[in-house]
């Protein structure tokens, strides 16, 4: 065990260093333009039908469920499933499509384990994740909807060397089959089943030994679990996040060693919130080591079914997705979310359209699924219509978006990790305020801070900064940038004319007001804060606070993306009231275009104003739309 553990730790230390740096954004490829749907792949005979059905509904990224390492039988004997993967890849490539295959991360199911002398847990009990008390992560039918009666479901330690060696061999074999992508489902520490939420697992021997070798600490004795004031527990939190990041990086590098063009895509349900810390899968870290992320995103406990969302839920969803787009730094963001699941009041079509609209306006790729599973559709005709429309306008939504003299809002992973509730209420509140006030904004992270050139940077209750971050902030202020600090101040900067401090965070106050009375809360309630922000002399957008706006440059041209949530009532009404009277003022003229969601492009002629700017009157916006200068 010691020899194998030392080898794997040496690899992980190398990967740990690599993972600290974001990869250079790659040119756009098929992953940036996917319109996804999923199918079960039982055998190679299914391949022609799957690709035929995908083509008929304008799907351009085919997910196939053919899990090799997540089923003990195929973990040991993968030959039949590898043949099916090869067949579906060949069929997709014949028609110019792409396919990617689902595999489990750290979960493995043994079918009918109650009737067999062999199962993963019976054969390899040392591989399992464990609670501090030693209880192994073994579950049976009914624990989750995908675990059948009589099956054994286990969660494995990423430090189990024999398992990891075989797992990576299966990754190599899958990559060699010619598939375009490997989709790794929820690579988590087991903390999300009943009774495990506060376990902060895993305390198996392999993981405890790895932590001891890296930090000198005994995870079973030297930590106060759940106490973020304990520096040793914070080291455990960071270790768990880095472990999952390293695991996904090794999958990526292993796959590319035999198939350099293959893509790796983890599926993660935590987003920017505290759940990322608990399960150890942090999308900010994972974007640096994978090609894309598929987000099964529930935005901090909000309703993840589109038919039930309130306008505030929808705004929080925009915050999450635009944060992902910032973390991605040019890589694609895929969204696996759910629109409708038997709601008797809301029509599937309305829920689907709202979900797709909200995603494309944020620049995320869409995935159509039925109910709560990955495959099927709630309404296939709606999928066909929406996917065809997205295909016709894909460059408008998925070409790189660049900031426009933006107000930066800082996402601090370290603060989120240790002070989730305090940081996120400030961060979300400020971003929603800027979206409702229709101001150009950009989300800034530790990886992009040094290059940020916006007019102002807001630190929303940021409580932890390292020396590199402080140095970048000092340089930003020294170059004349306006720094706005709300709530806690971790900068160490002295008072200067271009530093503004708010001891009481206006973003936090605004979010609390929205939570209490969304309809009755106006951005004008934070006028003192808004008026302190630098004015933007390039563009002005006038619309109601029911509309979220994203103001960017695409291909060197101003683009304004609108997502309208006016009149939506969760579970009762999924048809918006049109947003009329929207005006855009630019300091430069020219013919403009407007594309409404599921509509056709319209030309707009601006009117010159007395100060030389040009004013454009937009047609009524129903669900959403995009404006740009031709």
CATH label of the domain that carries residue 611: 2.60.40.1180
Is residue 351 within 8 A of residue 307, CB to CB? The reply is yes
Let me know if residue 212 belongs to a domain.
no
Let me know if residue 125 belongs to a domain.
no
Report d(CA 354, CA 305) in Å as an integer.
11
Report d(CA 304, CA 266) in Å as an integer.
19
Is residue 601 within 8 A of residue 593, CB to CB? The reply is yes
Q: Are residues 277 and 424 in the same domain?
A: no
Closest of 358, 299, 295 to residue 331, by C-alpha: 295
Q: What is the pLDDT of residue 372?
A: 86
Instruction: Profile the chain (630 residues) by mean pLDDT over runs of 10 residues.
Output: 42 38 63 98 97 98 97 98 98 98 98 94 98 97 87 97 98 98 97 95 98 98 96 97 98 98 96 95 97 87 81 96 98 96 95 98 97 93 98 98 94 97 97 98 98 96 97 96 97 95 96 97 96 92 98 94 97 97 91 97 91 94 96
Report d(CA 220, CA 513) in Å as an integer.
43
User: Directed axis angle between helix 348-361 and helix 380-392, to 10°?
Assistant: 20
Q: What is the pLDDT of residue 10?
A: 40
Let me know if residue 289 belongs to a domain.
yes
Write the CA distances from 519 to 310, 494, 515, 620, integer angstroms. Answer: 11, 40, 10, 21
Q: Are residues 61 and 187 in the same domain?
A: yes
Which of 261, 279, 295 is at the close of a domain?
A: 295
Report d(CA 16, CA 26) in Å as an integer.
21
Q: What is the pLDDT of residue 611?
A: 82
Q: Are residues 543 and 526 in the same domain?
A: no
Write the CA distances from 504 to 94, 97, 135, 509, integer angstroms. Answer: 60, 52, 44, 8
Integer-rounded Cα radius of gyration of the chain: 25
Cα four-point dihedral sign 519, 525, 527, 532: negative
Write out the residue range of the structural domain in which residue 486 sits.
405-531
Report d(CA 179, CA 372) in Å as an integer.
26
Q: Are residues 507 and 619 in the same domain?
A: no
Let me know if residue 318 belongs to a domain.
no
403 backbone dihedrals φ, ψ, rounded to 5°: -70, 160
Q: What is the pLDDT of residue 154?
A: 97
Sequence-distant (6+) residues with CB within 8 A of 542 are 438, 581, 582, 583, 584, 585
Q: Are residues 421 and 466 in the same domain?
A: yes
Report d(CA 16, CA 19) in Å as an integer.
5
Let me know if residue 16 belongs to a domain.
yes
Q: What is the pLDDT of residue 495?
A: 94
Sheet with 107-110: strands ordered across: 107-110, 152-155, 138-139
Q: Are residues 502 and 562 in the same domain?
A: no
Q: Are residues 26 and 88 in the same domain?
A: yes
Report d(CA 433, CA 12) in Å as an integer.
41
Report d(CA 477, CA 485) in Å as an integer.
12
3-state secondary structure of 573: strand
Let me know if residue 220 belongs to a domain.
no
Q: Are residues 39 and 20 in the same domain?
A: yes
Let me know if residue 291 belongs to a domain.
yes
Which of 509, 531, 553 is at the close of a domain?
A: 531
Q: What is the pLDDT of residue 24?
A: 46
Q: What CATH number is attached to the domain comprising 472?
A: 3.40.50.880
Which of 476, 502, 531 is at the close of a domain?
A: 531
Q: Are residues 558 and 433 in the same domain?
A: no
Residue 27: DSSP 8-state: P
Q: What CATH number is attached to the domain comprising 47?
A: 3.20.20.80
565 backbone dihedrals φ, ψ, rounded to 5°: -120, 20
Let me know if residue 262 belongs to a domain.
yes
Number of domains in the chain: 3
Q: Are residues 410 and 554 in the same domain?
A: no
Q: Are residues 436 and 489 in the same domain?
A: yes
Q: Are residues 513 and 609 in the same domain?
A: no
Is residue 107 within 8 A of residue 153, CB to CB? The reply is yes
Structure-token pair, residue 297: 């995103």
Sequence-distant (6+) residues with CB within 8 A of 123 are none
């Amino acid at each position: 065990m010691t020899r194998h553990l030392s080898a794997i730790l040496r690899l992980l230390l190398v990967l740990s260093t690599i993972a600290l740096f974001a990869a250079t954004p790659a040119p756009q490829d098929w992953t940036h333009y996917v319109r996804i749907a999923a199918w079960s792949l039982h055998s190679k005979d299914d391949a022609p039908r799957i690709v035929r059905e995908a083509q008929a509904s304008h799907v351009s990224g085919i997910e196939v469920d053919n899990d090799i390492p997540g089923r003990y039988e195929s973990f040991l004997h993968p030959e039949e499933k590898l043949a099916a993967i090869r067949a579906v890849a060949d069929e997709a490539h014949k028609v110019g499509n792409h396919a990617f295959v689902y595999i489990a991360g750290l979960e493995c199911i043994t079918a009918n384990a109650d009737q067999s002398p062999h199962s993963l847990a019976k054969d390899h009990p040392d591989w399992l994740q464990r609670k501090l008390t030693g209880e192994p992560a073994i579950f049976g039918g009914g624990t989750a909807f995908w675990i059948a009666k009589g099956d054994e479901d286990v969660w494995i330690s990423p430090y189990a060397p024999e398992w990891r060696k075989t797992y990576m061999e299966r990754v190599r074999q899958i990559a060699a089959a010619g598939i375009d992508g490997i989709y790794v489902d929820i690579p988590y520490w087991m903390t999300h089943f009943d009774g495990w939420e506060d376990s902060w697992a895993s305390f198996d021997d392999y993981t405890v030994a790895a932590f001891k070798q890296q930090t000198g600490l005994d995870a079973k004795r030297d930590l106060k679990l759940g106490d973020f004031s304990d520096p040793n527990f914070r080291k455990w939190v960071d270790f768990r996040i880095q472990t999952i990041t390293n695991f996904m990086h090794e999958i990526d590098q292993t796959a590319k060693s035999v198939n350099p063009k293959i893509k790796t895509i983890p599926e993660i349900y935590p987003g920017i919130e505290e759940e990322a810390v608990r399960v150890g899968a942090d999308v900010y870290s994972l974007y640096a080591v994978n090609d894309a992320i598929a987000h099964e995103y529930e935005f901090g406990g909000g309703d993840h079914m589109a038919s039930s969302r309130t306008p505030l839920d929808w705004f929080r969803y925009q915050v999450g997705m635009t944060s992902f787009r910032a973390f991605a730094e040019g890589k694609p963001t895929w969204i696996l979310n759910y629109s409708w699941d038997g709601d008797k009041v809301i029509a599937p079509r309305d829920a689907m359209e709202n979900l797709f609209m909200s995603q494309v306006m944020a620049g995320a790729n869409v995935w159509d699924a039925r109910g709560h599973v990955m495959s099927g559709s709630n309404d296939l005709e709606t999928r066909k219509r929406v996917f065809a429309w997205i295909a016709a306008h894909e460059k408008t939504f998925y070409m790189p978006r660049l900031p426009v003299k933006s107000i930066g809002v800082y996402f601090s992973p370290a603060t989120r990790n240790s002070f989730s509730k305090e940081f996120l209420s400030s961060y979300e509140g400020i971003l929603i305020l800027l979206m409702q006030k229709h101001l150009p904004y950009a989300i800034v992270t530790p990886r992009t801070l040094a290059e940020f050139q916006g007019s102002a940077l807001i630190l929303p209750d940021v409580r932890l900064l390292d020396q590199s971050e402080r140095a970048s902030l000092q340089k930003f202020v020294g170059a004349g940038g306006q720094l706005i600090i709300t709530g806690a101040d971790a900068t160490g900067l002295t008072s200067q004319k271009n530093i503004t401090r708010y001891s009481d965070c206006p973003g936090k106050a605004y979010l609390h007001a929205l939570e209490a009375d969304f309809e009755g809360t106006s951005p004008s309630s934070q006028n003192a804060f808004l008026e302190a922000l630098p004015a933007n002399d390039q563009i002005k957008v006038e619309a109601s606070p029911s509309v979220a706006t994203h103001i960017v440059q695409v291909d060197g041209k101003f683009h304004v993306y609108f997502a309208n949530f006016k009149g939506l009532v969760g579970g009762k009404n999924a048809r918006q009231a049109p947003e009329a009277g929207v005006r855009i003022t630019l300091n430069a003229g020219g013919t403009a275009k407007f594309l409404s969601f599921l509509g056709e492009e319209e030309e707009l002629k601006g009117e010159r104003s007395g100060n030389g700017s040009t004013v454009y009157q937009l047609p009524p916006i129903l669900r959403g739309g995009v404006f740009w200068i031709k």
